Structure 1
Amino acid sequence: MDQVTAPELQAGLALAAARPAVARAFLDTVRARADTATAALADAWASPRSGTDSEELTRSLAVALAEQAAHRPGLAGDLRAWLGAALACAPADVANAVGGDARVHGTVVQAHGIHGGVHIHPAAPGTERARAVPRQIPAVPAHFTNRERELAALDRTAATSPDGPVLAVISGPAGVGKTTLARRWLLGLADAFPDGQFYADLRGHSDSDPARPGELLGQLLRAVGEDRVPADLGEQSALWRSATAGARIALLLDNAVSAAQVRPLLPGGARALTAVTSRGRLSGLGMDGAAFHPLDVLATHEAVELLSRRIGADRVSREPEAALSVARACAGLPLAVCVAAARVAARPRQPLAAMAGALDGRGGGGALDALRVEGEYAVRGALDTSYRLLPPEHARGYRMLGLAPVQLLGVEVAAEACALRGDEADRLLDELAEVNLLEDLGPDPRTGTGRYRFHDLVKTHAAQLAADHDGRADAEAAVRRVVDFYLYAATEAESLLTPSHRILPRRYARHPAQRPPFTDAPGALRWLDAERTHLMAALRTAAERGWDETAWMLADAMFPLFLRLRPYDLWIEAHEIGLAAARRAGDRAAESQMLTSGGTGLRNAGRHDEAVAWFGQALEVARERVAALESGRAQGTGSVGQEERTAARRAEAQALHGLGQSHRLAGRLAEATRYFRLALPLREAIGYRRGAALTRICLGDVALADGRPQEALPQLAAARAELLAEDDPYDAARALAFLGQAALRCAGDDASAVESAEAQLKQAVREFEETGSVHWQARVLEMLGEAAEERREPERARRWYEQSLARYASVSAPDVRRIQERLRGRGEALGPE
Structure 2
Amino acid sequence: MEPDSRQNAIAFAEALLAQAEARSGFLPVLRVWLLQYERFVSGTGGGSASESSNAVESTQLSGTVIQAREIHGNVQVQTEPPPRPPVPHQLLPVPADFVDRQDDLTALERIRTEHRGDSALIVAVTGPAGVGKTVLVSRWLKLLTPAFPDGQLYADMTGYSLSGAQRPSDVLDRLLRALGCRQVPAELAEKAALWRSLTAGRQVALMVDNALSAAQVRPLLPGGGSSLVAVVSRRRLMGLGIDGAAFHTLDVLGAEESVELLSRRIGNQRARDEPSSVRQVAALCAGLPLAVCVAAARMAARPQQSVAAVVGAMTEKTRPLEAFRLDGDRVVEAALDESYRALEPEVARVYRQLGVLPVDVFCLHASAAACATDVSSMGDLVEELIEASLLEELGPHPATGQPRYRLHDLIRLHAAHRAAQEEPDTASVDTERRFVDWYLATATAARTLLSPSHRRLRRDYAFPPPATSDFEEAETAWDWMHSEGPHLMQLVRLAAERGWDAVCWQLVDSMQPWFLRARPYDLWVESHQLGLAAARRAGHSEGVSRMLTTGGSGMYNAGRLDDALDWFTQALRDARERGDRRAEAQALHGLGQTHRLADRLQQAAALFTEALDIRSDIGYRRGAALSRLCLGDVALAADRPDEARLCLGRARAELLAVQDRYDAARALAFLGRAHAHPSLRGYAEAVRLLSTALGEFRSAGSVHWQARVLEMLGETAQEQGALETARRRFADSLALYEPVSPVDARRLKEHLHKIGWGSPRE
Regarding TM over 0.5, the answer is yes
For residues 423 and 494 of structure 1, what CA distance do their matches in structure 2 show? 27
Q: 2:582 aligns with which of 650, 653, 663?
A: 650
Correspondence for 1:826 = 755
Correspondence for 2:605 = 673
Q: 2:574 aligns with which of 606, 611, 621?
A: 621
Q: For structure 1, which runs of at least 5 residues remain unmatched after alignment?
A: 1-31, 34-137, 185-278, 286-291, 295-332, 337-368, 627-647, 748-752
Correspondence for 1:546 = 499
Correspondence for 1:492 = 445
Matching of residues 140-155 of structure 1 within 5 Å: 140=252, 150=262
For residues 174 and 760 of structure 1, what CA distance do their matches in structure 2 show? 52
State the secondary structure of the residue aligned to 1:513.
coil
Q: 2:652 aligns with which of 712, 720, 728?
A: 720
- 1:170 partner letter: R
For residues 682 and 734 of structure 1, what CA distance do their matches in structure 2 show? 22
The answer on 1:179 being equivalent to 2:287 is yes
For residues 538 and 558 of structure 2, what CA distance do their matches in structure 1 show? 28
8 A Cα contact 2:671 2:689, kept in partner: no
For residues 520 and 158 of structure 1, what CA distance do their matches in structure 2 show? 57
- 2:489 partner letter: M
State the secondary structure of the residue aligned to 1:510.
coil
For residues 802 and 145 of structure 1, what CA distance do their matches in structure 2 show? 41
Deviation of 1:613 (Å): 0.6
Deviation of 1:658 (Å): 0.6
Change (3 A) 1:387 1:599: same
Correspondence for 1:417 = 370
For residues 765 and 448 of structure 1, what CA distance do their matches in structure 2 show? 32
Give a deviation string over 1:121-148, Cα, whole Å, max 9, x none: xxxxxxxxxxxxxxxxx96469x99997
8 A Cα contact 2:481 2:514, kept in partner: yes
The answer on 1:555 being equivalent to 2:555 is no
Change (3 A) 1:437 1:590: same
- 1:656 partner letter: L
State the secondary structure of the residue aligned to 2:405.
strand
TM-score, normalising length: structure 2: 0.56
Change (3 A) 1:781 1:174: closer
The answer on 1:802 being equivalent to 2:737 is no
Correspondence for 1:111 = none
Change (3 A) 1:804 1:396: same
Correspondence for 1:574 = 527
The answer on 1:698 being equivalent to 2:622 is no
Change (3 A) 1:147 1:654: closer
Give a deviation string over 1:673-716, Cα, whole Å, max 9, x none: 22112111011111122211211121122222233445434433
8 A Cα contact 1:696 1:719, kept in partner: yes
- 2:341 partner letter: R
- 2:419 partner letter: A
Deviation of 1:781 (Å): 5.6
For residues 519 and 280 of structure 1, what CA distance do their matches in structure 2 show? 57
For residues 427 and 419 of structure 1, what CA distance do their matches in structure 2 show? 14
8 A Cα contact 1:172 1:280, kept in partner: no
- 1:706 partner letter: A
Q: 1:523 aligns with which of 467, 473, 476?
A: 476
* Identical-pair percentage: 47
For residues 145 and 809 of structure 1, what CA distance do their matches in structure 2 show? 32
Correspondence for 1:474 = 427
8 A Cα contact 2:262 2:282, kept in partner: no
For residues 666 and 554 of structure 1, what CA distance do their matches in structure 2 show? 30
8 A Cα contact 2:585 2:611, kept in partner: yes
Correspondence for 2:340 = 387
8 A Cα contact 1:447 1:530, kept in partner: no
Deviation of 1:738 (Å): 2.7
Deviation of 1:459 (Å): 3.3
For residues 308 and 395 of structure 2, what CA distance do their matches in structure 1 show? 32
Give a deviation string over 1:46-98, Cα, whole Å, max 9, x none: xxxxxxxxxxxxxxxxxxxxxxxxxxxxxxxxxxxxxxxxxxxxxxxxxxxxx
For residues 394 and 352 of structure 2, what CA distance do their matches in structure 1 show? 20
Correspondence for 1:564 = 517
For residues 259 and 633 of structure 2, what CA distance do their matches in structure 1 show? 63
The answer on 1:769 being equivalent to 2:722 is no
Q: 1:507 aligns with which of 456, 460, 482?
A: 460
- 1:719 partner letter: A
Deviation of 1:450 (Å): 3.7
Correspondence for 2:380 = 427
Correspondence for 2:547 = 594
Deviation of 1:745 (Å): 3.3
For residues 480 and 710 of structure 1, what CA distance do their matches in structure 2 show? 54
For residues 816 and 281 of structure 1, what CA distance do their matches in structure 2 show? 40
- 2:562 partner letter: D
- 2:751 partner letter: R
State the secondary structure of the residue aligned to 1:501.
coil
Change (3 A) 1:764 1:157: farther
For residues 597 and 710 of structure 2, what CA distance do their matches in structure 1 show? 21
For residues 583 and 306 of structure 2, what CA distance do their matches in structure 1 show? 50
8 A Cα contact 1:669 1:702, kept in partner: yes
Deviation of 1:717 (Å): 3.7
Deviation of 1:509 (Å): 1.8
Change (3 A) 1:158 1:611: farther
Correspondence for 2:278 = 169
Deviation of 1:391 (Å): 1.3
8 A Cα contact 2:263 2:271, kept in partner: no
For residues 183 and 519 of structure 1, what CA distance do their matches in structure 2 show? 45
State the secondary structure of the residue aligned to 2:278.
strand
8 A Cα contact 1:403 1:475, kept in partner: yes
Deviation of 1:420 (Å): 1.1
8 A Cα contact 2:548 2:567, kept in partner: yes
Count of aligned pairs between the two proteins: 491
State the secondary structure of the residue aligned to 1:479.
helix
Deviation of 1:414 (Å): 1.9
Give a deviation string over 1:567-598, Cα, whole Å, max 9, x none: 22221121111111111111111110011111
Deviation of 1:551 (Å): 1.3
Q: Return the structure number with greater relative CO, CA threshold 8 A, min gap 6.
A: 1
State the secondary structure of the residue aligned to 1:802.
helix
Correspondence for 1:636 = none
Matching of residues 340-359 of structure 1 within 5 Å: none
8 A Cα contact 2:291 2:332, kept in partner: no
For residues 307 and 604 of structure 2, what CA distance do their matches in structure 1 show? 54
Supply the RMSD in Å over aligned alpha carbons. Answer: 4.4
- 2:689 partner letter: Q
For residues 306 and 377 of structure 2, what CA distance do their matches in structure 1 show? 39
State the secondary structure of the residue aligned to 1:169.
helix
Q: For structure 2, which runs of at least 5 residues remain unmatched after alignment?
A: 1-98, 101-249, 293-304, 315-320
Change (3 A) 1:475 1:650: same
Deviation of 1:389 (Å): 3.0
For residues 703 and 478 of structure 1, what CA distance do their matches in structure 2 show? 53
TM-score, normalising length: structure 1: 0.52
Deviation of 1:559 (Å): 1.3
Deviation of 1:465 (Å): 3.5
Deviation of 1:397 (Å): 1.4
- 1:676 partner letter: F
Give a deviation string over 1:18-48, Cα, whole Å, max 9, x none: xxxxxxxxxxxxxx99xxxxxxxxxxxxxxx
Change (3 A) 1:802 1:586: same
The answer on 1:534 being equivalent to 2:487 is yes
- 1:529 partner letter: H
Give a deviation string over 1:239-260, Cα, whole Å, max 9, x none: xxxxxxxxxxxxxxxxxxxxxx
Structure (1 or 2) with the larger CA radius of gyration: 2
Correspondence for 2:670 = 738
Deviation of 1:754 (Å): 0.8
- 1:429 partner letter: V
For residues 610 and 425 of structure 2, what CA distance do their matches in structure 1 show? 53
Bigger mean CA deviation after superposition, 533-542 or 587-596: 533-542
Change (3 A) 1:663 1:280: farther
